[in-house]
Amino acid sequence: MRINIREQAMRVEYSLTCDRAVIPPWGIVGGGSARTVLNLVEHAGPSAEAFHFGKVSSFPLIPGDSLVLHAAGGGGYGDPLDRDPAAVESDVENGYISARRAAEEYGVVIGPDGSANASETARQRAELRAQRLFVALRESEFPAYDGTQGSHRIQPVSPAVAASLGTANGDLIEIVPGSGAPLRAWIRISADAPDDSIGIDRRGLLLMNAEPGALVQLRVPRTLNSANDQIIRAARVRPADSHPAAQ
C-alpha cells in the first residue's frame, strides 16, 4: 500500500514510528518475505529524495514536498511456484499483481488474452526452480551470534555462494528449510567456507527442525527499494577480520 501526502501551504514537520523497515515480514512453508516499509520525502525542486527507515522525528517539510509511505505487506504461505495458475491469473485480472510480477514471482505466464499459458508457465517455473541455490547443513561450533547493541546471527558462506546470491558482507539472507519459517542471518564471507554446505549451530538446527545433511535453500529476502539495501549494507559492513574465522 502506498500513501502520498503533499504539503501545500506551510512549513510543517512529520514524525513516524513503524516496524519492518529493515527486516521484512517472514514467509513460511517456502513462502517469500514481504516487502519492507519504505518512507521517503520527494522534495519540491531539484533536491534529492530523503529516505527514512521506520523511525523519524520532526523532519521538516516545505510546500511542494510529498511524503510517500509504503506499508509492509504480509509474508507468503507456501512455495509460490506451486500456486494454482488459475489463482494467479485471477490476481492479475483483479489488479492485485501485474503480469510481470506473476511471471517473476509465481512463474505464471499470462498471455495476451489474460489467461495463463500452460506450456510457457511450465517452462518459466522450471527455469526459476533451476536458479534456486541449495546447500547441505552441517553442524558447526562457530559462534553464531555477534553484536553489542543486539545479537545478530552470523552465517559464514563461501565467496562463490555470496556471488551466486549477489550479496556482500553484512547482507541478510534466509535459510529456508522444508517447513516452517526460514532462519535469517547476516552473512560473513569466508574463504574457508565450502561451496556446497553451510555450518549451523545446534540452536539453529533446532529452530529449523532440521538435521545435518538436510538440503536447504539460501535466498535473499525482499526489500522495497534498492536505496534501503544500499543504506543497510553501508551501515553493516565490517572488516573481514572483525569476527573469528569460520569453522
| Per-residue pLDDT tens over the stretch 123-177 | 999 999 999 999 999 999 888 888 665 678 999 999 999 999 999 898 899 999 9
21 band by pLDDT with thresholds 50, 70 and 90: confident
The residue that leads in pLDDT, 147 or 60, is: 60
Q: What is the pLDDT of residue 28?
A: 92
**Residues 203-213: tens digit of each pLDDT:** 999 999 999 99
pLDDT in the model for residue 246 = 36
Judged on CB neighbours under 10 Å (0-12, 13-18, 19+), 79 is middle
> What is residue 224's predicted lDDT score, i.e. its pLDDT?
45
Looking at residue 53, its amino acid is F
Q: Is the pLDDT of residue 1 over 70?
A: no
Which range, of 40-44, 115-119, 163-167, 195-199, averages the lowest pLDDT? 40-44
Closest C-alpha among 61, 68, 62, 78 to residue 40: 68
Read off the C-alpha cell for 92.
492479475
Task: Give the closest residue to 161 by CA, choosing from 212, 206, 198.
Answer: 198
C-beta separation of 210 from 216 below 8 A: yes
What are the cell numbers at 156? Answer: 559464514
* Cell, residue 89: 491469473
Under the banding of pLDDT at 50, 70 and 90, the label for residue 65 is confident
Task: Please state, in angstroms and rounded to a whole number, the distance separating the CA atoms of residues 34 and 182.
Answer: 13
